[in-house]
Each structure stands twice: as structure tokens, then as C-alpha cells.
A = this chain, B = another copy of it.
Amino acid sequence: MRVDVGELVDRARAGQHRAIARLVSLVEDAHPQLREIAAALTPHTGHARVVGLTGPPGVGKSTSTSALLTALRKAGLRVGVLAIDPSSPFSGGALLGDRVRMGEHATDAGVFIRSMATRGHLGGLSWATPQAVRVLDAAGFDVVLIETVGVGQSEVDVVRLADTTVVLLAPGMGDGIQAAKAGVLEIADVFVVNKADRPGADATVRELKQMMSMARREIRGPSWRQPVVRTVASENDGVDDVVTALDQHHDWLRAYGELDRRRAARAAGEVEAIAMRQLRAELEELRDGDRLAQLARRVVNRELDPYAAADAVISDLRRSRGGGSQG
């Protein structure tokens, strides 16, 4: 169905949640007017601060996100949340999660929450997420929170989209920290030790600082000393300190030109993902024709090895007028 993109973008920018949700859906479903949508959104982007929130299961991520939302709202900021839910191949679980968490924020026009399932996206999460961020950015949110479970590589990739990445931990998950360690130190801009009223909180903070001091020797470039903030998100304890840490990191990003660098890296990744998806679509079109079938038959008949056949496919793609079709 043909969508009036201009009108939809206007409504989204006026804060209408249904229009925003519609745009995210269109993007997720790779609507044929994808290009038009991206072109209409792009001029309005660049305002939102993108904050990634990740950590192993059980650290209280949803509670922390909700508490952070409340704190940011108190500061007068409009906040969009993208919750990446790897456990939900379909949207069932994800949607339920939204409704539950929407609870206190449901009536707040300054908050928009959306779950994205990690499967079933044409082109994958690395393709869909930056596009969804663009929607929320263009819709005028001051902060876009991307919440993921920090387990797989794809979640880490998504967090790398952020200007600022918060890694959540909790006491008494010694093994968890060890397991998370490898990737976590690289990606964290701010550490939050949640459930800090529980036994073992001091040990967790100590362990974390120890890991950081060992790792710091190897870090190059402008230095940002990752703060370790203690919270009890369920009681809203320490959440203002998280907001302060986010602000400080944002100031630091601006001061050192790091914000532009990160956003350029994000855009580069997105452009690459779009190009890859476009090439894949062209390959798939080729599959529908005779050419690939002919080449495959020659491979089966041992007249051609598969690499030579792939070369032929690629030179076909090069020759083709290309572009267009998919969005």
C-alpha cells in the first residue's frame, strides 16, 4: 500500500505515537518506500543522543531502563526506547514486555517504547536498528535508549551504534563478569552496578576497577575514565548519578570531537549494511532468472568450479544497470 510519507513524517514530528510506530514498522518490514522514508527523515536527524544499555541477564535491565526513563523525563527530556529482544523470534513476548513496562509511562507523550525482535528482519538487526534510531531521532526525541541483552555479537554490534554505552552488572555474578569481560571493557563508557544494596556489591565494584586499571594501560586515544555508578534501580537509588555520568560523557564526546567520529562510524556501518542488503537483493533476482541455474548446472557437470561461477555472477551484477528495486 502506498504510504503518504511526507504526511507520516510530519505527524511523527508532531509527536503522534501512532505515526512514529508506523514508521518504525515500515522500516522493520523494509517497505518499498524505504528510500523515500529515509530521505524524508534524514534532514531532521542529528539531535538525539543515542544511549546503549546492555548487560548479562538478571542484572535488572528493564527496571534500570524504566528508572532511567523516569529520571530523564524529570529532566524534561523526551525519550524513545528500542528494546532488542533476542528471546523473541516473533513479536509476542516482546509486545507483552512493552505493555508491562509501558505501565507508568503509558500515558506520557514524551516516552515511546518499542521492542524489536532480533530475528526475521530482512537484512538483520544491524540493518534495521539504525533505521529505527533514525525514525526516533527525526521524531524529535532528545534521547534514544537502545536496550539489549549483551550476549551475542549482534547485540554488541547494536550497542556500538550508540554515542554512549552503559554496561549494567550486579553483585554476585562473579562468573558473569568474567564471561562478559572480554567484550564489555571495550564497549562500556559507563558502568552501572545495580542491586548495589545486595551483599557483594563492593567486591563487584572492586573487581571492575581492577579490570579497568589493568586494561587502561593498553587504551589509546583521548582518555575517558569510565565511571562506576552504584544503583538500586527498583528504589530509584543512584539513578540521578547515572544521568550525571551520561551528561558528562556527552560533554566529553563533544569536547574531543568523539561524537562526530562515533556518528560517522555508525553511519558507515549503516551504509555498508544497506549496500550489502541491496547486493543480496540483486543476487536473489539473479536466482529467479536462468543465469544462476545455468552456471550451477555447469558446476554439477564439473565444467566449472564454483569460484569461477561466482566470478561470472559478480561480473553480471557489475554489468547490470543495478540499484532501484528494493527501497
A residues sitting closer than 8 Å to B (CB atoms) are: 34-35, 38-39, 41-43, 45-46, 130, 260, 263-265, 267-268, 270-272, 274-276, 278-280, 283, 287, 292-293, 295-297, 299-300, 302, 304-311, 313-315, 317-318, 322-323, 327
Beta-carbon contact of A271 and B300 below 8 Å: no
Contacts of A317 in B (CB 8 A): 275, 279, 318
Beta-carbon contact of B270 and A300 below 8 Å: no
Contacts of A313 in B (CB 8 A): 271-272, 275
Contacts of A34 in B (CB 8 A): 307
Beta-carbon contact of A310 and B264 below 8 Å: no
Contacts of A315 in B (CB 8 A): 322-323
Q: Give 29 A-B contacts (CB < 8 Å), ordered by A residue.
A: A34-B307, A38-B305, A38-B306, A39-B305, A42-B304, A46-B300, A46-B302, A130-B306, A260-B297, A264-B297, A265-B296, A267-B297, A267-B306, A267-B309, A268-B292, A270-B299, A271-B299, A271-B310, A272-B310, A274-B309, A274-B310, A275-B313, A276-B279, A276-B283, A278-B311, A278-B314, A279-B279, A311-B323, A317-B318
Tally of this chain's copies: 2
Contacts of A271 in B (CB 8 A): 292, 295-296, 299, 306, 309-310, 313
Given known contacts A271-B310, A307-B274, A322-B314, is B293 in contact with A264 (CB within 8 Å)?
yes
Q: Measured between alpha carbons, how far is A270 from B300 in the docked complex, in Å?
A: 11
Q: Measured between alpha carbons, how far is A152 from B279 in the docked complex, in Å?
A: 24
A43: nearest chain-B partner, CB-CB? B302
Beta-carbon contact of B39 and A308 below 8 Å: yes
A295: nearest chain-B partner, CB-CB? B271
Q: Measured between alpha carbons, how far is A268 from B307 in the docked complex, in Å?
A: 11
